[in-house]
Amino acid sequence: MLFRSRPPPGLEINLNLALFDLDNTILAGDSDYNWSRFLIQEGYLDAAIHAEKNEKFYADYKAGTLDIYAFVEFQFKPLARNPRSVLNQLLKKYIEEVIKPMITEKAYTLVRKHHEEGDLLIVITATNSFITKPIAALFGVENLIGTDPEEKEGEFTGKVSGLPSFKEGKVTRLEAWLKNKNLSLTDFKKSYFYSDSHNDLPLMQKVTHPVAVDADAILAEYAKSRGWPTISLR
């Protein structure tokens, strides 16, 4: 059930934009959190050291208090410790065993609907692009804005490249991405953003059609107060 997103046909006035958060939105789970658990399971991380930190960062994220740079440093260390060839094999196994079971028929249907309507599709996520690019591809979406790990000579350094795609950073990264294609948010007749998290409110407030998906309590309350639609993809 794969399909491909189409590039924008110039500055077409009727072109719509469909943005999708990934974790706990079009995925029924969190790919970042589960990546660490998977690496522990596979013996590439020390459970005694990393399990507690992983839980703490995840709790901070849900509470809206995450230090994104501390989290990125934590998440990118395993990338720097292992050769790219090993990481690629681990990621392939992770996608098959952990990610594919998180993809629901409702999520596929939603993304496909926007594709068939000719919208410009982008997955925009705080999770690192090494993990999320192949996940976006499972939905047939070629365009990804994620937090990028720095690379040198084909290997990861453990550092972040550029601005993390988190909170206000999602707005900045999206605007830069569109500008690179001679576009802006105002060029779209309609702009949709689907998200589960109040961390995404800065970008949700920028689009014409924000949609709360299986929303956390803070986002659910905010969406209700603004009359935003709320849906479930589970």
Cβ contact 173:192 at 8 Å = no
Active site residue 21: yes
Query: From CA 208, how far away is CA 211, in angstroms rounded?
Result: 10
Cβ contact 32:21 at 8 Å = no
Measured N-to-C along each axis, helices 84-94 and 129-138 cross at an angle, to the nearest 10 degrees, of 40
Active site residue 46: no
Closest CA to 138 of 123, 124, 156, 116: 123
Tokens (6 digits) for 4 = 């491909």
Q: Which of 23, 32, 196, 200 is catalytic?
A: 23
Q: How far is CA 120 from CA 137, 196, 202, in A?
A: 15, 21, 20
Q: How far is CA 130 from CA 45, 84, 91, 134, in A?
A: 18, 10, 9, 8
Catalytic residue set: 21, 23
